[in-house]
Structure formats: C-alpha cells, structure tokens
C-alpha cells in the first residue's frame, strides 16, 4: 500500500529507533547482558571466581595418629637408656622377633657354656667309661648341652640329663642361669603384658564427629563438635582439651609454622571434665579471648588452620590412662550448622541412636564475626536488631 520510497523511510526510522532504544538500555544499565542476569553458581564458576585452596597437610590424622616423623636423630643411644619403653613401642612383628631371639640366644649361650665345661673336664671323651663321674650325666654333644640349657631355664626337668654334686663349676653356672633366666622372663613377659594391655585399642571405641560446626547458642557464636563412647564400661575422670594449629608470624618477623593456641572449652568453669555416658556436644564460646573472635564466615573460608581435640581419661576396667585424638581442618568446620539430636527417651531408659552421631542440619546463623555481633549488641536500642541478626531476619551489614 506504500510506495517504495516511503517504505524505505519507514524502515530507516525503525532501525534508528531500535538503535536508540539499545543505546538507552546500555546507558541506563551500563552492564553487559551476561553480567545483568543472575548467575547460577557452579563448580566451574566457583573455580574461576576463587582459586581453590591447596589441601592442607594434617598435623594429626582423624584416627589420632600424629603425622610427624623424626629424622636425623644423632643421639640414638637415648633409646637404649629406656630399653623397656623402646621394646613396648615396637611393632608387633618386631616384638615377636625380639621375644624369640632373646630366648634362643640365651639358651644357645648357656648351652655353649655347658658344652665347654663338659669339653674341658673330658666328659665328651670319657663319659661312657665305667667309674667316670661327669658334670652332667648323658651330656655327650653340643645338641644335648643345648637341650639341657632349655630344660634348666624352663624348669622342665625330664630327668635324663642331671647335674652331679662333684661339679662345683656346674653348680655355679646353674645358679647364674637360674637367676639370669628369671630376669629375662620378667622383662620379656612384662613387655608383652604391657603391650597387650595398652589402652590404645580402648580409644577405638571413643568417637569424634566428622565435622565441627559453628552456630549460635544463647545469642553467642560457638564452635562445637561431638564426642561419644561406644562401650558400657565408661572412661573415668574424662577430660577434653583442644588446640588450634596454624602458621603465625610474630611482630619481629619470626615465622612459626605450627603454632599451638589453646581453645577454651571450659577449663576455667569445669566444663572440660566430662561424664561421658552418652554422646556430648563440646562447645567453645567465641569471645574476645578466642582465636576466632574476629573471624567472619568469609574470612574463615580463606584461613588455613587445624583444630586438634584430645580426650583423656582412665579405663574403668584396667585403671590405665587412655588418650584419644582427632582433628578438624578448616574445610571440616562448617558455618551455620548444628548437630542432630541422638538421645531419645524410651520406656524406662534413654536410647542413643548412633546413626545420627555425625549428622548435622543447617540453621540461621549470622555470617559476621563474633566481635561484630557483640558490637551490634551494645546499647539497648540495638538489642532487638541483634536478635534479628541471630535469627537470620536481617544481615549483619544492614
């Protein structure tokens, strides 16, 4: 219906209007489209935005073993000065080897002495002659001397090889072997008994939660983890303590790679002494004396640290001291979570559900530091605002 010239003018006007609207859109928003649209957080965008932290080497493993190796020890004689502890600390296959070796060498040594006495006296040559009185009857070779040494030290007494009264040197050797044999028995049996009864295996039934959490308790930020005991025989005089392990540089410029800082979990109030009958949640209040006082959620995600927890007590069955250890890396401390309850009241007793021992659930927690949270609480007019922040109604920076 329009002439070709009019259609060309209308098309040019439309293109100009499109360009004008596009320029106005850019002028108002001033951002590309891919930045104006809400971004969906993915693993790839997270890696691009923030480089991942390098995995930290544990100072204490989750099973309690210390990840420290002693190298270039020059004064190795110190281990021999405490020989009993050295034997107890050896691994089981080394212990069995040394246990067997000590007895065999002892029997061979005294067997050699008995054979030398028989050789010097001439019992090996004249032992079968009539009227000849040997030192030990029926001892005619080194093998028989070795067997007599075993019978003497173990008090077997088969009655075939017997020492005679006309051999004073044999009587003296018999006394020496009896005394030294008793000492060897006491040391080796004592080492094996202590090694068997060590309370290290008792620590296997002491549990620590896989994660530590940070959330609000009584309007205060708290760091929490859970401990439990699987046995019915309890740990007597149980106590717990925690250490913060992280690198530190002093004001003078000295670098301390693994500085240890105490974490107060109740040693000033007595809460560190536990009655560990059912699983307990250990709480550390983040106050001005806490190393986490100025750490917010964002800052804690950038920090590199390790929390070592140590549970000590006496085994009720043996009375020996037991120690269980575990640790939490910075990636294992979760902000804004709580532990799922595990204790329920049944008909006449309390039941612990260990299926939920490691379970946690998310809760409203302010992302600001405990110091900022305490600052917001100063003044009567800010009390309501602080409670709203704790409940997650408003943010810390509003």
Are 231 and 315 in contact by the 8 Å Cβ rule? The answer is no
53, 88, 239, 305, 329 from 59: Cα distances, Å: 17, 24, 21, 10, 9
Of the candidate ranges 184-188, 270-274, 325-329, 379-383, the one whose mean pLDDT is the lowest: 379-383
| For residues 234-258, average pLDDT | 90
Of 189 and 27, more confident:
189
Name which of 330, 312, 52, 373 is nearest 212 in CA terms: 330
**Token pair of 170 as six digits:** 């044999």
Using alpha carbons only, give the angle 298, 304, 309 rounded to the nearest 5 degrees: 110
pLDDT score of 124 more than 80: yes
pLDDT class for 396, splitting at 50, 70, 90? low
Highest mean pLDDT among 37-41, 90-94, 351-355, 374-378: 351-355
Where is 326: in which H helix or E strand? strand 321-329
Of 376 and 41, more confident:
376
pLDDT class for 227, splitting at 50, 70, 90? very high
pLDDT class for 67, splitting at 50, 70, 90? confident
One of 3.30.1490.190, 1.10.287.70, 1.10.10.60, 3.40.50.450 is the CATH number of 78-197, namely 1.10.287.70
pLDDT tens per residue across span 71-104? 887 777 777 777 888 888 888 899 899 999 999 9
Q: What is the predicted pLDDT for the residue at 12?
A: 46
pLDDT class for 54, splitting at 50, 70, 90? low
Where is 15: in which H helix or E strand? helix 4-29
Q: Which residue do the tokens 């054979």 mark? A: 115
Of 395 and 256, more confident:
256
pLDDT class for 18, splitting at 50, 70, 90? very low
Q: What is the predicted pLDDT for the residue at 76?
A: 75
Q: Which residue do the tokens 């959620």 mark? A: 297
pLDDT score of 106 more than 90: yes
pLDDT class for 362, splitting at 50, 70, 90? very high
Name which of 102, 86, 161, 171 is nearest 127 in CA terms: 161
Q: How far apart are CA 14 and CA 34, in angstroms?
A: 26
Of 136 and 56, more confident:
136
The hierarchical CATH code for the domain 202-367 is 2.60.40.1400
Which pTM does this prediction carry?
0.68
Are 149 and 181 in contact by the 8 Å Cβ rule? The answer is no
DSSP-derived letter for residue 342 is: -
* SS3 call for 147: helix
Domain-wise residue ranges, the chain:
78-197, 202-367
* SS3 call for 395: coil
Q: What is the predicted pLDDT for the residue at 278?
A: 92
| For residues 307-321, average pLDDT | 89
Of the candidate ranges 13-17, 27-31, 228-232, 254-258, the one whose mean pLDDT is the lowest: 27-31
Q: What is the predicted pLDDT for the residue at 9?
A: 47
Of 387 and 301, more confident:
301
pLDDT tens per residue across span 253-265? 889 988 999 999 9
Are 230 and 127 in contact by the 8 Å Cβ rule? The answer is no
pLDDT score of 44 more than 50: no
Q: Which residue do the tokens 């209040």 mark? A: 285
Q: What is the predicted pLDDT for the residue at 389?
A: 61
Of the candidate ranges 4-18, 95-109, 128-142, 349-363, the one whose mean pLDDT is the lowest: 4-18
CB atoms within 10 A of CB 38: 5
pLDDT class for 110, splitting at 50, 70, 90? very high
Are 279 and 226 in contact by the 8 Å Cβ rule? The answer is yes
């Amino acid at each position: 219906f329009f002439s070709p010239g009019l259609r060309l003018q209308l098309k040019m006007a439309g293109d100009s209007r499109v360009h004008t609207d596009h320029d106005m859109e850019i002028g108002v928003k001033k951002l590309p489209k891919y930045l104006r649209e809400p971004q969906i957080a993915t693993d790839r965008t997270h890696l691009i935005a923030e480089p991942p932290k390098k995995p930290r080497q544990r100072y204490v493993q989750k099973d309690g073993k210390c990840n420290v190796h002693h190298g270039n020890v020059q004064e190795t004689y110190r281990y021999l000065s405490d020989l009993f502890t050295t034997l107890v600390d050896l691994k089981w296959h080394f212990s069995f080897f040394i246990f067997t070796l000590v007895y065999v060498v002892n029997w061979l040594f005294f067997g050699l002495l008995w054979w030398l006495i028989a050789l010097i006296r001439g019992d090996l040559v004249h032992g079968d002659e009539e009227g000849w009185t040997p030192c030990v009857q029926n001892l005619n070779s080194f093998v028989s001397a070795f067997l007599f040494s075993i019978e003497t030290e173990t008090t077997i007494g088969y009655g075939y090889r017997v020492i005679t009264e006309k051999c004073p040197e044999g009587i003296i050797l018999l006394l020496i072997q009896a005394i030294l044999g008793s000492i060897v028995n006491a040391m080796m049996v004592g080492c094996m008994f202590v090694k068997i009864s060590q309370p290290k295996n008792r620590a296997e039934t002491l549990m620590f939660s896989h994660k530590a959490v940070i959330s609000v308790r009584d309007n205060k930020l708290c760091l929490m983890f859970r401990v439990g005991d699987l046995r019915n025989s309890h740990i007597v005089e149980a106590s717990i303590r925690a250490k913060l392990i992280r690198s530190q540089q002093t004001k003078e410029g000295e670098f301390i790679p693994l500085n240890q800082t105490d974490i107060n979990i109740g040693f000033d109030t007595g809460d560190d002494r536990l009655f560990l009958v059912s699983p307990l949640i250990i709480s550390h209040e983040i106050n001005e004396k806490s190393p986490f006082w100025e750490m917010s959620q964002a800052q804690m995600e950038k920090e590199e640290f390790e929390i070592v927890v140590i549970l000590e007590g006496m085994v009720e069955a043996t009375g020996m001291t037991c120690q269980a250890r575990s640790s939490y890396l910075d990636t294992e401390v979760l902000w804004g979570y709580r532990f799922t309850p595990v204790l329920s009241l049944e008909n006449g007793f309390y039941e612990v559900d260990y299926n939920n021992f490691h379970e946690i659930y998310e809760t409203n927690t302010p992302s600001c530091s405990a110091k900022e949270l305490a600052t917001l609480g100063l003044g009567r007019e800010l009390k309501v605002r602080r409670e709203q922040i704790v409940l997650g109604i408003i943010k810390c920076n509003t």
